[in-house]
Structure 1
Amino acid sequence: MGCAISGSGVTPRSPENRNSEDISPARLTPDHIRLIKESWRVIQEDIAKVGIIMFVRLFETHPECKDVFFLFRDVKDLESLHTSRELRAHGLRVMSFIEKSVARLDQLEQLETLARELGKSHFRYNAPPKYYGYVGAEFICAVRPVLKDRWTSELEQAWQTLFQYVTAIMKDSYLEEERSHTLSSSRERPDTRSTAV
């Protein structure tokens, strides 16, 4: 059930990974946008199935990801997840986010706002950025069989770029939220240093 892309190449570009010429997030071209929108029309017909396959694959290829999901943390039999209502619901939430992202491809400011909010919520859920790129890789592996002969290297590149773009923004937002939380927590702690002379 392996997928060559799994765990490679679809990770967000972080400040630690960027060099001086690579400061901005991945750039979506008009061709990327067209290819993503065309393929989404087919993918959305099997949206629930893709969501489940994506997360079962995620837990198979990166079992440590289960630790982020309270409901699935102790699941040993991954095959049982194929019929899990909870996994179906979570898969549909993620697929809904992807659907909203596709709908905002012509309004990148709105897509950025959506991704920023998702990054903040992932901070609240304690879901760290190191896992974000895995979801994109597993999404690509899950939709490839759905699209069959429509799948091309150009389409794969388009979806990779979208996930790189979104996950880079999510990570930045997560880290901003983390810094803000750390700063406000340090302000709330009383100064315990002695003031006696």
Structure 2
Amino acid sequence: MGCAISVLAPKTAGECKTEDAVVHLSKEQIEMIKESWKVIEEDIAKVGIIMFVRLFETHPECKDVFFLFRDVEDRDRLRISRELRAHGLRVMSFIEKSVARLEQLERLEVLAVELGRSHYPYNAPPKYYSYVGAEFICAVQPILKERWTPELEEAWKTLFLYLTRLMNRGYQERNRHQQVGASPKERNIAL
């Protein structure tokens, strides 16, 4: 596929970062992300499409969340899909808002947690969130060309790790809320 990143999540407990990883982004890393975003946003729709086409190729199980794309195997049909373009743009809009809030962590946290909550009804499990981040990174490398550095990659990975953990928290909160309101039978609890 051309990109060595498989997922952003740490492989072992020893590699885990705390949820406040983004707090540890230096001012230089924040500036690198913001500067690279200026270039990325010029091709925002293209990045969104590339990101999701790659996601469906590397993790075909993710298509189950997208009713319209479950049975689409033709890469060209995916690339020209208005629905996929629209969803890609929504994800890119979230990334844009996240970049704009890098120095307003409370607002960034609210945004990401709410996005995680909103994914619960679609049965979009949290493990998919890190896949999207990894595919975003793969999609922007060729666009940024010589601007892409190991330091910039680490900054984006840290940001996506933080965002996916916040989204996971929102998803789990919504799940717990649904479980509390559900009957014992719906919760699969034996009476």
TM (normalized to structure 2)? 0.89
> How much does 1:23 deviate?
4.3
1:105 aligned residue: 102
Q: Percentage identity across aligned positions? A: 66
User: Are 1:39 and 1:147, in contact at CA under 8 Å, matched by a contact in 2?
Assistant: yes
> Is 1:87 the equivalent of 2:66?
no
> Is 1:158 the equivalent of 2:158?
no
When residues 23 and 150 of structure 1 are mapped into structure 2, their CA distance, relative to the original with a 3 A threshold, is closer
Rg: which structure is higher? 1
1:74 aligned residue: 71
Two-structure CA RMSD over aligned residues (Å): 2.1
> How much does 1:186 deviate?
3.2
User: Are 2:19 and 2:162, in contact at CA under 8 Å, matched by a contact in 1?
Assistant: no
* Corresponding pairs, count: 185
1:168 aligned residue: 165
> How much does 1:11 deviate?
2.4
1:49 aligned residue: 46
Give the partner amino acid of 1:72: F
When residues 94 and 185 of structure 1 are mapped into structure 2, their CA distance, relative to the original with a 3 A threshold, is same
When residues 29 and 90 of structure 1 are mapped into structure 2, their CA distance, relative to the original with a 3 A threshold, is same
User: Are 1:12 and 1:163, in contact at CA under 8 Å, matched by a contact in 2?
Assistant: no
Give the partner amino acid of 2:42: E
Given candidates 144, 147, 167, the residue that maps to 1:147 is 144
Given candidates 9, 12, 29, the residue that maps to 1:11 is 9
Give the alignment of 1:119-138 within 5 angstroms. Answer: 119-138=116-135
> How much does 1:176 deviate?
1.2
Higher relative contact order (CA 8 A, sep 6+): 1
Q: Which runs of 5+ in 1 are unaligned?
A: none
When residues 12 and 111 of structure 1 are mapped into structure 2, their CA distance, relative to the original with a 3 A threshold, is farther
> How much does 1:180 deviate?
1.3
Q: Deviations over 1:48-98 (max 9, x none)?
A: 000000000000111111001111111011222111111111100100000
